[in-house]
Amino acid sequence: MKIAALQMVSTGDLEQNLLQARGLLEQAAQQGAELVVLPEYFCLIGHRDADKLTIQEAFGSGPIQTFLADTARALGLWVVGGTLPLAASSPERVYNSALVFNPEGACVARYDKMHLFRYDNGVESYDESRVLDPGTHPTRFALPSRDGHVWQVGLSVCYDLRFAELYRGYAREGVDLLLVPSAFTHTTGQAHWEVLLRARAIENLAYVAAAAQGGEHPNGRRTWGQSMVIDPWGLILAQRAQGAGVVCADLDPHTLAKCRAQLPALQHRLL
């Protein structure tokens, strides 16, 4: 199965971001991708945390969800819209949600980001809990691909990457592809992005696809980028350093089975 991780440099203009996303989705479809993953906050990176509140949608309706459904249907793709703000406990709070649309345009899975990022080094300061409510449970879905394999896919978002127990839980449930739409800061990405992604692939003997924001945003924020696809042995199959673009790679169920047979670490778990 060919998968595409889309890298974007989103702005504070929703329509501009959707136009950029549509162009990248079309490129991925032209390259033969079946599953395409958009990055965290593909629809908006505003000047303030509260800007995302102005575009929040109720689950099941709204222009961003309509865009994702219509594009998936028009291009015949599985599309992971990771992420958009969905209504939460009050108008002043939202969930940071990844939605999965099948090629018929139906939403088949929803994951609300469980771990909320907080970081302060005296120069940069972030605290997602100011406007986000955390999700409460992992989400996985089944994707029957053209190669005849049914891929079990686990969803996560950005900061979740630091919590190995989430991915180990997916491994226990038989997941063989882990998705990580992200907007890592340049500081934390430079230090930890690649090593964490490769570790999640290696320890769970699973494919990993990470679609990232990558560049200088109009609000002054700088994101790390390096969107990539990694195989179950930890080999980077494809990646892109910075700037908007499409990162494509082929996932092979035989490679997955071979790695798990040669090194049956998942069968040796004690916990």
40 is catalytic: yes
113 is catalytic: yes
Catalytic site residue from 52, 113, 248, 259: 113
Catalytic site residue from 40, 57, 128, 248: 40
d(CA 127, CA 208): 26
Q: List C-alpha distances in Å: 127 to 18, 138, 184, 189, 215.
A: 26, 22, 13, 17, 21
- Asked if the peptide bond before residue 185 counts as cis, ω within 30 degrees of 0, the response is no
52 is catalytic: no
Catalytic site residue from 2, 52, 128, 158: 158
- Active site residue ranges: 40, 113, 158
